[in-house]
A and B are shown apart, each in its own frame.
Chain A
Amino acid sequence: MNISQSNKEAFKNPWVLGMLLFLATFLTANGIFIYLAFSSPPNLVVEDFYERGEHYIEAHELVEKQKALGWTGQIMTPANTRVNEHQQYEVLIQGKHSAALDLDSVTLHAYRPSDARADFAVEMEPSNPGMYGADVSFNLPGIWDVIIVAKKDEHEFMVTKRMTISP
């Protein structure tokens, strides 16, 4: 039997057809997964990954600037967290040698690692010296990343805490 690449007889072979079907199924399934990853939930795909990579040096410099500021912060969260209930969240932020900071703004950003659509932000108000607070309600149980950003003039300072919200 003379077989060459120009011979199409092989496509009549059920084994060859089976292999092609397997390949087509495999590629289709991958295509569906990629589509689902892009469509929902959104956090699985970082759309601006290239820009983030380009800004890596800037982000690193920002961390160094924060260290140089000598500011410190501590987030205080409720001992018993509950979903869909307003609870008091506070942060203590102070400068070097316990200096008071007349901050322009303090914002609590709540990031839902598994679904960016649930992310939200709340402005925190000054309470006691160095203390800022806000009543916050998380609408989903599970893991949340709390990032509090304090700004004063061109300075920016971040405090982070990963927490679990109880059902």
Chain B
Amino acid sequence: MADNKNEPTQVGDTGHVWDGIRELDNPCPRWWLNALYLSGVIVVVYFILYPSLPLVHDSTKGLLGWTQIGEYKEDLAKVQAKRAPFEDKLAKMSVDEILADKEMLNYAIGSSKVLYGDNCAACHGAGGAPAEGAGYPNLTDDDWLYGGTVDEIQMSIAKGRQGLMPAHEKLLKPEEVDQLVKFVIDSSNGVKNEAGHALFTAKGCFACHGADAKGIKEMGSANLTDKIWRFSGEESEIRKTILHGVNDANDKQTRVAVMPQWSQKLAVMLEAKAYAIADGEDPNEIDWSDELDGTEAERLSETDIKKLTVYVHQFGGGQ
């Protein structure tokens, strides 16, 4: 009958006539029926194996006990199991040791990208170079305000940094400001400006920027003799820095130069180790219960800071 489906006169009917239209009795194609039955079987099997039927407060669990969150946790556990040997090893290594171990260095850099993106890129830019005019230090130019060794970078991340330059609006005459602006621009261009340098010295600028105006890393002061600008090399912006200073709480137009503290705990530990070494003691003998009271704030773990130190260090060919 199926072969005669296009010949109504050759096809049987159901005996029903709907308003004069005869209801034919063509069977469904075999492949279609099989597919229908198979899909029904699959539905039943699925309902038995997986959570399917909603109940009042829960649902049927299914014989396999599968859940979405369970699958997520399994996958996460697999990733963590793969990373665990590296993470455990990394936790025991110093930053210098990581730099010397090619495999661990690759792992640290690879796993730092998300960390850097989440915590650093908003200020320092995705690749270490901040957006024009953002006013954050560039990490790719190998010019480090607080030093570019791995230990110094690690300390900068852990402890945070906060520059300080007093506002000079009330301390300098306008012509003195003009002269100092010119001195700064001349210095960055390698032009000798003796009168400017004399004023730079007389007004005490050397105390922070050094007698040679090249900056003092212990203070985080900027090198005024190169073309790398902490804020901007434009004359108006240099003038603004001199007039309103940096982080001067008494001047509302001051510039902000703050690197947040990412681990007070690690900062205390690094400082304690540095003091111990300076005093000729073994840093492994430090009694941490004397140094830490458990209230130290941590925004990143010690291992995360190590990774970021390595990541940042390789940006600008760290020292």
CA distance A99 to B247 in the complex (A): 10
In chain A, what residue has the closest Cβ to B133?
A: A96
* Segment touching A, from B28-36, B76-84, B201-209, B298-306: B298-306
* Contact A3-B297, Cβ < 8 Å, known A70-B134, A92-B260, A99-B255: no
Q: Which of B164-188 contact A (CB under 8 A)?
A: none
CA distance A43 to B299 in the complex (A): 30
Q: A74 to nearest B CB, angstroms?
A: 4
In chain B, what residue has the closest Cβ to A161?
A: B118
Interface assignment of A102: CB less than 8 Å from any CB of chain B: yes
Q: Contact partner of A78 among B15, B136, B260, B297, CB < 8 A?
A: B297
A89-115 CB contact bits vs B (8 Å, 1 = yes)? 010101111111110000000000000
Q: Which of B116-133 contact A (CB under 8 A)?
A: 119, 122-123, 133
* Contact between chains at A3 and B18 (CB < 8 Å): yes
* Contact between chains at A3 and B256 (CB < 8 Å): no
In chain A, what residue has the closest Cβ to B232?
A: A97
* Contact between chains at B260 and A1 (CB < 8 Å): no
Q: B242 to nearest A CB, angstroms?
A: 14
CA distance A77 to B297 in the complex (A): 10
* Contact between chains at B162 and A97 (CB < 8 Å): no
- Chain A residues with Cβ below 8 Å from B255 are 97-100
CA distance A33 to B240 in the complex (A): 62
* Contact A3-B232, Cβ < 8 Å, known A97-B133, A97-B135: no
CA distance A99 to B244 in the complex (A): 10
* Contact A100-B134, Cβ < 8 Å, known A5-B19, A80-B298, A128-B162: no
* Contact between chains at B252 and A73 (CB < 8 Å): no
Interface assignment of B249: CB less than 8 Å from any CB of chain A: yes
In chain B, what residue has the closest Cβ to A102?
A: B252
Q: Which of B231-279 contact A (CB under 8 A)?
A: 231-232, 237, 240, 246-247, 249, 251-258, 260, 262-263
CA distance A74 to B50 in the complex (A): 44
B20-51 CB contact bits vs A (8 Å, 1 = yes)? 00000000000000000000000000000000
CA distance A5 to B16 in the complex (A): 12
Q: A77 to nearest B CB, angstroms?
A: 6
- Chain A residues with Cβ below 8 Å from B15 are 1
* Contact A1-B263, Cβ < 8 Å, known A98-B135, A98-B255, A102-B252: no
CA distance A3 to B134 in the complex (A): 81
* Contact between chains at A79 and B260 (CB < 8 Å): no
Interface assignment of A158: CB less than 8 Å from any CB of chain B: no
* Contact between chains at B136 and A72 (CB < 8 Å): yes
* Contact between chains at B122 and A74 (CB < 8 Å): yes
- Chain B residues with Cβ below 8 Å from A1 are 15-17
- Chain B residues with Cβ below 8 Å from A73 are 122
Q: B156 to nearest A CB, angstroms?
A: 15
- Chain B residues with Cβ below 8 Å from A98 are 135-136, 231, 246, 255-257
* Contact between chains at B256 and A100 (CB < 8 Å): yes
CA distance A79 to B240 in the complex (A): 37
* Contact between chains at A76 and B18 (CB < 8 Å): no
* Contact between chains at B256 and A79 (CB < 8 Å): no
Q: B5 to nearest A CB, angstroms?
A: 21
In chain B, what residue has the closest Cβ to A6?
A: B19
Q: A79 to nearest B CB, angstroms?
A: 4
| Most chain B beta carbons < 10 A, residue from A4, A99, A102 | A99
A46-82 CB contact bits vs B (8 Å, 1 = yes)? 0000000000000000000000001011101111100
CA distance A130 to B255 in the complex (A): 9
Q: B164 to nearest A CB, angstroms?
A: 9
Q: A50 to nearest B CB, angstroms?
A: 30
- Chain B residues with Cβ below 8 Å from A94 are 135, 256, 258
* Contact between chains at A88 and B16 (CB < 8 Å): no
* Contact between chains at B297 and A4 (CB < 8 Å): no
- Chain A residues with Cβ below 8 Å from B298 are 78-80
CA distance A92 to B249 in the complex (A): 15
* Contact between chains at A99 and B299 (CB < 8 Å): no
* Contact between chains at B122 and A3 (CB < 8 Å): no
| Most chain B beta carbons < 10 A, residue from A1, A98, A99, A102 | A98
B interface with A by C-beta (< 8 Å): 15-19, 119, 122-123, 133-136, 162, 231-232, 237, 240, 246-247, 249, 251-258, 260, 262-263, 297-301, 304
Known: A79-B263, A131-B260. 11 other contacts (CB 8 A): A72-B122, A76-B262, A92-B256, A98-B255, A98-B256, A99-B135, A100-B253, A128-B162, A128-B247, A129-B162, A129-B247
